[in-house]
Structure 1
Amino acid sequence: MGRLNGKVAIVTGAGRVGNIGVAVARAFLREGARAVIATDMRAEEGYDIRALVAGDGHAGVFRLVEHDVTSEADWARIVSDTVAEFDGLDVLVNNAGIAVHGGILQTSLEDLRKAMAVNHDALFLGIKACAAALGQAHTRFAGGGVVINNLSMASYMMNATNIGYHVSKAAGRMLTTCAALELGPQKIRVNSVHPGVTMTPLIREGLEAYVAAGMWESTDAAEAALAAMNPLGRASQPEDTAHAFVYLASEEAQFVTGASLYHDGGIGLRY
């Protein structure tokens, strides 16, 4: 405990119970974060999330705010409000993401651009908006400012039925390494986490799409088949994945930048 003592973080895509963003926000607060600003387009589950976080028994501040990650103006507002209230920003977690199902022949250009906007462009906007504030984090923490992008195993695995998601996540991987090179001199570390099959609402919706496409008979069969593809033989839970984000946000990783942390149960060994 206490690995993130005093840090202030923004975590996008943290407005839906059961997703990785919520698990990361809770883990950060349990590890001593001074404040976590959780952002999302969703508001209907906000009460449930606030109740979950309040029940964790931490001393940090939790905010759940509406945020369109594809809006440059929204990013400016979120960063300005955070810095004004907490006198700084130490960690940005770009977690928000969407899935657009279908191969090239089934996916419209509009849907592809939508996937790119949320899964890639939003990372660019977030890093750009937060860079100045994150560049001051080294005055408080030896490890400096931190950016962590949630990029999924989709960034290095091929898939003929989910082109928008996989291409946008792969683009985010290159963005991560380029940003690490550019922002390193400002004492900002930029890394990515690549979860494997993690049982979130988004994954369950994806499995339903695979079932509808005739790839599996049921979502249970789909989950079992995907889990069997990795050496550990099981799917991950959001709480498992949150540990990877805690490590990269902590001072333990102060010499780690430009890294891709595979959190996929070993499935990447087959690619």
Structure 2
Amino acid sequence: MGRLEGKVAVVTGAGRIGNIGLAICEAFLREGAKAVVGTDFRRDEADAIVSRVESAYGAGRFRLAEHDVTSEEDWRRVIDETIGDWGGIDVLVNNAGISVHAGIADTSLEDLRKVMAVNHDALFLGMKLCAPALAEAAGRFAGGGAIINNLSMASYMPNANNIGYHVSKAAGRMLTLCGAIEFGPRKIRVNSVHPGLTMTPLIYEGLNDYVAAGLWETPEAAEAAIAGMGPLKISSQPEDTAHAFVYLASEEARFVTGASLYHDGGIGQRY
């Protein structure tokens, strides 16, 4: 039996091959999840993603739903469809995120609000709107329902060249802690994962932005410098990071809430 046998999960930000969201969906399916609904506003890779997942795990267990995570209406639609098709929701993973690489002086209020809307406000909406469904299904498993927020090492690591991302992730950390207190009596565990340098399309774009800003000469030099901040001195792959989400979604973590799981190669010990 898999570690997530019979569970139904919603994972945001899963619409891009090579990203953490899709890796989480695949890891959940490998561990026996009854169904996984990946969501994203991106549709350009949707057919390829569905084909890839169904080839590996069979049809009928995965859907890639169109979803603007900043829209309350979209959240309600995804929740209602998931409950209608699979009878409930046991796990919510708030993974969607965006970044605008600039410091305080060069970040417009419009860009800051856009980043906060996706990286923070969407966490609020997901937690608020999914909580009733998670609570209703909580009796199906000893560990109850689970909310897992992907918050990045950016939540505790300052960066003068990417302030919107780092500030939004730091705010999400406090939202996680508040949610753990509020939802615990309803048998919902709320935790966060803080990935370090994980080689996703978004990270590659970010490294190129750093090069364009003159911080490093090449993306490879940027990767080596950031990875070198931790004692392991290596970067991570999305599949590595997905293991942390499997643990927090599983019954093995039934006594874990309000936790910040650093998956950052040891960089977090500096902060």
The TM-score, its normalising length taken from structure 1, stands at 0.98
For residues 201-229 of structure 1, the C-alpha deviation after alignment (integer angstroms, 9 at most, x for no partner) is 11111101100010000101111111111
For residues 144-184 of structure 1, the C-alpha deviation after alignment (integer angstroms, 9 at most, x for no partner) is 01000000000000100000000000000000000000000
Does the CA-based 8 Å contact 2:135-2:188 persist in structure 1? Answer: yes
SS of residue matched to 1:134: helix
In structure 2, the residue matched to 1:255 is: 255
Letter in 2 for 1:213: A
SS of residue matched to 1:192: strand
Q: Which residues of 2 match residues 168-247 of structure 1 at below 5 A?
A: 168-247=168-247
2:116 matched to 1:88?
A: no
Partners of 1:163 and 1:268 in 2: CA distance: 18
In structure 2, the residue matched to 1:68 is: 68
Partners of 1:106 and 1:139 in 2: CA distance: 49
The TM-score, its normalising length taken from structure 2, stands at 0.98
Unaligned residue ranges in structure 1 (runs of 5+) = none
Does the CA-based 8 Å contact 1:145-1:189 persist in structure 2? Answer: yes
Unaligned residue ranges in structure 2 (runs of 5+) = none
Letter in 2 for 1:192: S
2:167 matched to 1:167?
A: yes
Partners of 1:32 and 1:64 in 2: CA distance: 18
Q: What is the CA distance between 1:57 and its match in structure 2?
A: 3.4
Letter in 2 for 1:42: R
SS of residue matched to 1:107: coil
Does the CA-based 8 Å contact 1:12-1:40 persist in structure 2? Answer: yes
Structure 1, 261-270 or 135-144: larger mean CA deviation: 135-144
Q: What is the CA distance between 1:58 and its match in structure 2?
A: 5.5
Does the CA-based 8 Å contact 1:34-1:60 persist in structure 2? Answer: no
Q: What is the CA distance between 1:49 and its match in structure 2?
A: 1.1
In structure 1, the residue matched to 2:39 is: 39
In structure 2, the residue matched to 1:139 is: 139
Does the CA-based 8 Å contact 2:93-2:150 persist in structure 1? Answer: yes
SS of residue matched to 1:222: helix
Identity %: 72
SS of residue matched to 1:252: helix
Partners of 2:57 and 2:213 in 1: CA distance: 44
Partners of 2:57 and 2:65 in 1: CA distance: 21
In structure 2, the residue matched to 1:116 is: 116
Partners of 1:51 and 1:267 in 2: CA distance: 37
Letter in 1 for 2:165: Y
Letter in 1 for 2:215: M
Q: What is the CA distance between 1:60 and its match in structure 2?
A: 6.2
CA RMSD of superposed structures (Å)? 1.0
SS of residue matched to 2:193: strand
